[in-house]
Structure 1
């Protein structure tokens, strides 16, 4: 009997025909509480939308208000085979080095002279390409300077489609990561890249050739104004050709940017302004 009573209580709680209550509330009570929550959540949504609108009015579509990236740019090499930054191949095995040549072809295709002539501006070299706004009038989109792959000469892949990998004189291409507003320079002149062996490999690296000459990043490619403001920006490149590196041995190499306003690494970021990698060229199976 107790069970029948409990069952009746539950039925009456779900729907009480005498008081016409559903789950303990009448229709008017349910209507009022639903109306309250509807108004409450509409108010919250409106407050959120208003807050976002006010905040967005303070932002510039073309330049971030705050930059969470490091002010000191890092350096990157191409071709990049893996995260370990190791370039290892055998001259006698085409498949071991052809992937590097293909990777450089793909990387350099946007730098073809015809593509650059169509998209970018022919700038005056050896001076910063300033494109400031005029008061409230935004100078957007901003122009970008041409960087033609022919500047890389022996490492352009035009005259030597294998970038020297087939004869043990490989090319490595270096780029400096983008930092908005950065204007690197060395005593008023273009910053430049230098590469050398780690201490244990001093006698293994041999002679190097740099393209463009002296391994410079011309001043005309700076400052960088951001992805939205400078949609066609082409990062300048420096190529290093290893002319007589010691074969059949690991050679640990470090390249760094030389500029007055780019510090040489720190405890916070040991790789700021520099990049290290291993190069090994085998000549026997």
Structure 2
């Protein structure tokens, strides 16, 4: 006679396990809540209590640690000025330049409009209106313009105060003249980007100007300084065509209120109601139906100029296209 066959442990457990006759819906309901075992999502009351207490303690400790880190960070932050400035900051010490009105993204840096299309012209003048809004209406400034003072070359900015930018001196580039856009003499507004604590080093000696500076700007500096040597403390601005053809097509330029940014607007210290000074460049008779490439530069001894691989430093580039 052969020896009796012994059931293994696994075979016994399989044979003794009752077949699951539940429907899929019943199995799903029991997975959510099992009334026989009194479990919710596979856990009874005791296990759910342990899980709840653990996560309450865990997230409470995490919230306290985050609050401590946040409070420690806020102690080191000054709301009125950045922690790092000038050489220690990402921006550095070389201010960039910008121009207004800004074209739409699809138009790149081209200011283009049609003389016979008044609605098109209105779009460009409206953008300038928006840019000059706080210059025109001081009440829209954070402090209502109360922190501004009238400055000039003999009366520089006082500590804690800021100088008013008087746009009534824009001449042919004023709002009353539609910024020149209706009579094919458009104005483009140039400004320097703000850098905290940056102080310009001026080209204030007419006899010691860089060789790369155009003669017409040198002549202007000489005439401008005749009214007082303190007027030479200016960041000069010049705009030129980027090629001989552009220079010919660009025509004569006019600058308002001066051909530069007066030095009494600097340094920028984030005082309330500060507005960046602007220079309005008027193209008196640019050639029609031709794209004109223009580059404007700021002149100060500590503004470095570079045009490496199309990256403008210390200058700004834009195109002008006026269509009939």
User: Residues of 2 paired with 1:235 and 1:154: CA distance?
Assistant: 20
C-alpha contact 1:175 1:237 (8 A) present in aligned 2: yes
Consecutive unaligned residues in structure 1, runs of 5 or more? 132-141
Q: 1:80 to 1:25 in 2, by over 3 A?
A: closer
Match of 1:152 in 2: 170
User: Residues of 1 paired with 2:315 and 2:269: CA distance?
Assistant: 22
User: Residues of 2 paired with 1:179 and 1:102: CA distance?
Assistant: 28
C-alpha contact 2:95 2:195 (8 A) present in aligned 1: yes
User: Residues of 2 paired with 1:60 and 1:242: CA distance?
Assistant: 43
Number of corresponding residues? 265
User: Residues of 2 paired with 1:166 and 1:24: CA distance?
Assistant: 77
CA apart distance, 1:146: 0.3
C-alpha contact 2:304 2:314 (8 A) present in aligned 1: yes
Q: 1:48 to 1:194 in 2, by over 3 A?
A: same
CA apart distance, 1:103: 2.7
The equivalences for 1:101-250 within 5 A come to 101-112=125-136, 118-119=145-146, 120-125=148-153, 129=157, 131=159, 142-158=160-176, 160=177, 162-187=178-203, 189-199=233-243, 200-213=245-258, 215-226=259-270, 230-250=271-291
User: Residues of 2 paired with 1:220 and 1:154: CA distance?
Assistant: 24
Larger Rg: 2
User: Residues of 2 paired with 1:154 and 1:118: CA distance?
Assistant: 26
C-alpha contact 1:204 1:245 (8 A) present in aligned 2: yes
TM-score (norm 1): 0.78
Q: 1:248 to 1:126 in 2, by over 3 A?
A: farther
* Greater share of helix: 2
User: Residues of 2 paired with 1:262 and 1:184: CA distance?
Assistant: 8
Consecutive unaligned residues in structure 2, runs of 5 or more? 1-17, 205-232
User: Residues of 1 paired with 2:180 and 2:31: CA distance?
Assistant: 88
TM-score (norm 2): 0.69
